[in-house]
Chain A
Amino acid sequence: MKPIFVRGVSHQFRLTLAIILSVALLVSNHRLDPIRQSLSSILSPLQYLANVPGVMLDWSAEAFATRNMLELQNKELLRQQLMMSERLQRFEHVRQENERLRALLGSPVHMDSRKVVAEVMEVASDPFRQFVVLNHGSQTGVYVGQPVVDAQGVVGQVIEVSEFTSRVLMVSDTTHGIPVRVTRNDVRAIANGTGDIDQIELRHVAKSTDIIAGDLLVTSGLGNRFPEGYPVARVISVSRDDGQSYAVINAQPLAALDRIRYVLLIWPDETKPFTLPADLVGVVATDPADVPQNIVPVNGEQPTTQTITSPTTGTDPAANNITPNTTSNSVGAPNTNQPTLNPASNNAANQPVSPSTPTNEVNQ
């Protein structure tokens, strides 16, 4: 069966050929994306097949769930739903207010973007890389660079798309960086992955920068990849060692990167008008056509209305109706006519928008 003399070319030659081919692949890796994409489309059935045991496990967990478990789950979900809808009511009010203020500032109004729920099919088995494979690909419209979030925060971005699957690089990968902003004081930084699944770090931050443990980092929207305002991580430690040239800041990603199962793919550019869920439309009082009226008088009225402060408007009985006075007051921040009044009006403007004072918002 086995010939004593090797037929054809020798093993050494084959090895040399294999090494040369591998090195050629390594060197020309950036130019091979189309080939990789088509190969990965061809091989994606294998990925679906490899996912079958996990799916079956899920299915059996559902099929063998007892009545008691389902009841408990149902109760918990109902409770959560109630909490969420209550928060959504407040959110809706804040959103409208925010939209008006943004319109006054001339900033683009945030729209609700298209989202698709995707399931994690495969997790990197490579200890040096941190990514997951999702069950949506170019058929759904997934593109390279697309932001991916879960219920708690940013997961990462798409780095590779095939026909029916896509690969998401997580924020904790060493090659991933994401522009962030501290919610407390708007300090900007870039959060880099460390290779540890529960840790990212802010590099090249000066020691005097005001960042403390517990600060929330959200996406800053700079870099045009991640839409603004999604929570990314919470700072867990800040060390200002004299031996280091920069502060060493570690943060923990908010998304549960080690146990994600479902994630959201976001299309920030494909916006659609925000619509409330049908059962909430009746609950939240809306004031139609308020925004366009307010935009016009801003510039003309600014000097005169600058003196009105928010405490007086806070007691305004007209519930949802924001008058031109209060809104133009909020615009006081960029105003250069009366620099002495700026800090005060700035504070006043920040107050109603802040989510930490819910009673204030309701009164507004």
Chain B
Amino acid sequence: MSAHIASGRLVVWLTIFIGMMFQIMPLPSMVENWRPDWLLMVMVYWAMALPHRYSILTAWILGVMLDVLLGATLGIRSLALSLVIYIVVLICQRLRNYPRWQQSLVIATLICIYHAVIFWVQFVVVGATPFDFNMFLPAVSSLFIWWWVFWILRNIRRRYKVR
């Protein structure tokens, strides 16, 4: 039994690290602004499916790691990510029963909140940065990619019986 749990944990962390890799992968500057928030989507999926195992504090740790990797002020993304995951944990029962397109709308909204919080904290901590609507572009691309992310992660969860 314990070996089973350990393997499930390994699978979850593997998907999270793959998401993180996609998040920091260099992209051509043309599509750079459209990069979907892979890590956030993976984290939202696990928080939605297993809120008692992967929730706010996991998100906080991942946020700190992302801040280090992106060279941002420590704490910005950990704050934003844990806020978003808190919302997900609150509505996870409903979110699971939504049709897929409605889920992706909620995800897009969450990503908008995520980026707005990042912008706000950065504005307060780093200093005046010009407001740019480009920062909401990831919400649009994630809207279309969520379907696939959900499908892949659900298959992984069922295949490896992660609980």
Chain A residues within 8 Å of B, Cβ to Cβ: 1-3, 6-7, 11, 14-15, 17-19, 21-26, 29, 32, 36, 39-40, 43, 46-47, 49-51, 53-54, 120-129, 131, 133, 159-160, 167, 174-175, 195, 197, 258-259
- A46, B18: Cα distance in complex, Å: 9
Which of B71, B76, B134 lies in contact with A127, CB distance below 8 A? B134
- A159, B125: Cα distance in complex, Å: 17
Pairwise interchain contact A167-B78, C-beta atoms closer than 8 A: no
Which of B17, B29, B56, B75 lies in contact with A258, CB distance below 8 A? B29
Chain B residues within 8 Å of A, Cβ to Cβ: 17, 20-27, 29, 32-33, 35, 50-52, 55-57, 59-60, 63-65, 68-76, 78-79, 82-83, 86, 89-90, 119, 121-122, 125-130, 132, 134-135, 163
Pairwise interchain contact A53-B25, C-beta atoms closer than 8 A: yes
Which of A1, A19, A40, A122 lies in contact with B26, CB distance below 8 A? A122
- Closest chain B CB from A165 CB (angstroms): 10
Pairwise interchain contact B74-A46, C-beta atoms closer than 8 A: no
- A39, B73: Cα distance in complex, Å: 14
Given the interface pairs A21-B78, A127-B132, the reply to whether A174 lies near B71 with Cβ below 8 Å is: no
Which of B51, B70, B73, B132 lies in contact with A2, CB distance below 8 A? B51
9 closest A-B pairs (Cβ-Cβ)? Answer: A25-B75, A22-B79, A18-B82, A26-B75, A14-B56, A22-B75, A18-B60, A25-B74, A50-B25
Pairwise interchain contact A46-B35, C-beta atoms closer than 8 A: no
Pairwise interchain contact A23-B65, C-beta atoms closer than 8 A: no
Smallest Cβ-Cβ distance to B80: which chain A residue: A22
Pairwise interchain contact A29-B127, C-beta atoms closer than 8 A: no
- A197, B30: Cα distance in complex, Å: 13
B-side contacts of A122, CB under 8 Å: 24-26
A-side contacts of B89, CB under 8 Å: 11
Known: A11-B86, A46-B69, A126-B72. 20 other contacts (CB 8 A): A14-B57, A15-B83, A17-B57, A18-B60, A19-B83, A21-B60, A22-B63, A23-B75, A29-B74, A36-B74, A40-B68, A46-B17, A46-B20, A50-B25, A123-B27, A123-B32, A125-B23, A125-B35, A127-B33, A174-B127
- A195, B127: Cα distance in complex, Å: 12
What are 13 A-B contacts defined by CB distance under 8 Å?
Answer: A1-B163, A14-B56, A15-B83, A18-B56, A22-B76, A22-B79, A23-B79, A36-B74, A39-B64, A39-B68, A50-B22, A50-B24, A174-B127
- Closest chain A CB from B73 CB (angstroms): 5
A-side contacts of B126, CB under 8 Å: 128, 175
- Closest chain B CB from A51 CB (angstroms): 7
Which of A1, A124, A259 lies in contact with B70, CB distance below 8 A? A124
Pairwise interchain contact B64-A25, C-beta atoms closer than 8 A: yes
Which of B32, B52, B65, B121 lies in contact with A125, CB distance below 8 A? B32
Which of A14, A54, A160 lies in contact with B55, CB distance below 8 A? A14
Which of A36, A127, A174, A258 lies in contact with B68, CB distance below 8 A? A36
- A29, B68: Cα distance in complex, Å: 12
Which of B29, B52, B57 lies in contact with A3, CB distance below 8 A? B52
Pairwise interchain contact A167-B71, C-beta atoms closer than 8 A: yes
Pairwise interchain contact B72-A129, C-beta atoms closer than 8 A: yes
Pairwise interchain contact A128-B125, C-beta atoms closer than 8 A: no
- Closest chain B CB from A325 CB (angstroms): 56
- Closest chain B CB from A175 CB (angstroms): 7
Which of A14, A18, A36, A125 lies in contact with B78, CB distance below 8 A? A18
A-side contacts of B29, CB under 8 Å: 123, 197, 258-259
Given the interface pairs A15-B82, A36-B74, A258-B29, the reply to whether A43 lies near B68 with Cβ below 8 Å is: yes
